[in-house]
Structures are given as structure tokens and as C-alpha cells.
Amino acid sequence: MLEVNISGLKLNSPLILASGILGVSYSTMLRLINIGIGAITTKSIGPRPRRGFKNPSIIELYPGTFLNSVGLGNPGIDNFISEIEEIKSHKIPLIVSVFGDSNETYLDVALKAQNAGADAIEINISCPHAEVSSIGIDKGLTFEIVKFLKEKLTIPLFVKMNPNVTNIVEIALAAEKGGADGLVAINTLAALKIDVNTKRPLLAHGSGGLSGKAIHPIAVKKVYDLYKLLKIPIIGCGGIDSWQDVVEFFLAGASAVQIGTAFYKGTEIITEINHGLTQYLKDNGFKSINDVKGLAHQFKTQEVPDFD
């Protein structure tokens, strides 16, 4: 009932680990595989090791809502290849998130990941506290990098969308035109929290990316808008910590979802959500989670009446 197919990737569950959470070591990724996650997205990996920003780099602002500026800290692709190879000893789709400082470095990292066994590439062009965000806010740059990578890669290419734009649909359409196989919507929202006593930002870097419960309705709205115009699949991401949140994304038009922040509760949330989804489908007479996709679009919103 929970099986989905995303651009040729076959998942036993629609739940995918979101980039940036737990996806940097084989041991933590293995825990999620054993508990029933459908696919793994690694932490964003770059061309060389990167320390990231100093602590404090993540804080909980409100229950279930976090602000982070980790700064794309990662071991570099050459040091990460062994992790990719170990994960691929398990029969589960592995999506490697990559970033770079030019189209060529994006390609170099992506090709190394592909050669190591990655099943798909997710390009991070939208992290709000790193340089890569400048790509994901421009439809021309988005089209160029997607087209450039698609000409060289033989595995599916997903694009992580930046919500910090005026019109996310035009950026998404540019990615689709460039040949993207799917979109991930959305990345974190640019945000800032200032301590009124110290009179300085709480994070060492200053601003960061907002994730968790507070952004869930925003992410659902973005997926809903994208589904109206795009032909490629959309992976919903933002504030999921229950099966109801997953169903909501599917109703808006998502073909799968990514979970990240909610793991502060523990990895058992995967089991809970999978069970809740299965029960929901049975209770509502659906044979598959795919039958739920886009159903909210059958609802007609009320038109504003004209004045007489």
C-alpha cells in the first residue's frame, strides 16, 4: 500500500530522509533503513571537506520548530565515497545531495557519487545560509545548471527548491525545462532570532534556516501550487512529524515526502508514520498511497463575488 515510484526509484515507503539530518554516516543511515524508511538522502556533500559554522548553530525556537546555520559542513566527496558504497550494500534507494561553487564542481561531485553507486542526485541550490542559494533564486541559473548536469549524468536528478523567492513556480518550471526528474519542495526558510538581553543573534552565524512545524503549512502551499503546473514528481518536505502531515502533502500533489527535523523525537517516528498511513488508507478504502495524490485539487475554492 505504501510503495511509490519516483522517477524510476522504487520505494517501499514514501518516507525519505531529508538532506542535512543523520545522512552523514553509515551507522545512522543504517538505523533508518532497519526501521522502515523508504529512501535515504545524504547530507549535502561538496568537493572538499568543510567545517561549517561555529556553535551555536542550531536552536529550538518553539516546540518542534528549529533554526539552524550548520553551514554545509561535510567530509567532502572523496572521503564520503566509502559511506555511499556501504549503504549500497543494502537494497534501498540512495539519493546523494551535492553542492559546489560552480557548475563544474557540482558535476564533479555528482559524477563521483554516481560512480560510487548513488541511485539519484539531489542538487542543493537553495540552502539559505550558504552561497548556493544564489542559484536557486534565479530561473536562468537554475535552468543552466540542471541542463548542464543532465547532459552528463545517467541517474535521476532532483532539485531542492528555495522557498525564499517571489515566484517558486517559475524557478521550478525552469528546472523542469532543464531536464530535472523531480523537485524537492521546500528547503528551509531564511530566518533570524535575536536575544533581547545580549542584543545579538542567537546563532553564531547570525541568520539561519527555519525548519519544523512552523513551516509545514507553507511547504504544503508550495507543493499545491507546483502540482498545478508541473509534470515531474514533487517530493514534499517541511515540518512532517505525523502521518496526517504526510497525507496532507499527498493531497496537495506530492509523490513522496522527506522527513528531517522530526527525528529530534527519535527514529521510531518512521514506524509510527508508516503504521498510521497504512491504517488511513484502509479506513478510507484506498488501495495505495498513490490514490491520494492531488485529491485536494478536486475541491473548488469559493470565488469572490462581484459587487452589484
What is d(CA 44, CA 31) in angstroms, rounded to the nearest whole number?
Answer: 19
Active site residue 127: yes
Question: Pick the catalytic residue: 4, 22, 120, 127?
Answer: 127
Q: How far is CA 93 from CA 16, 40, 120, 160, in A?
A: 9, 6, 8, 17
Please spell the DSSP secondary structure of 59-81, one letter per residue: EEEETTEEEE---S-B--HHHHH
User: What is the C-alpha separation between 262 and 66, in angstroms, rounded?
Assistant: 10
Residues with Cβ within 8 Å of 298's Cβ and at least 6 positions away in sequence, in order, are: none
- For cell 529512501, name the residue: 39
Helix (H, G, I), strand (E, B) or coil at 109: helix
161 CB neighbour count, 10 Å cutoff: 28
Q: Helix (H, G, I), strand (E, B), or coil: what is residue 251?
A: helix
Rounded Cα distance between 62 and 57, Å, is: 16
Active site residues: 127
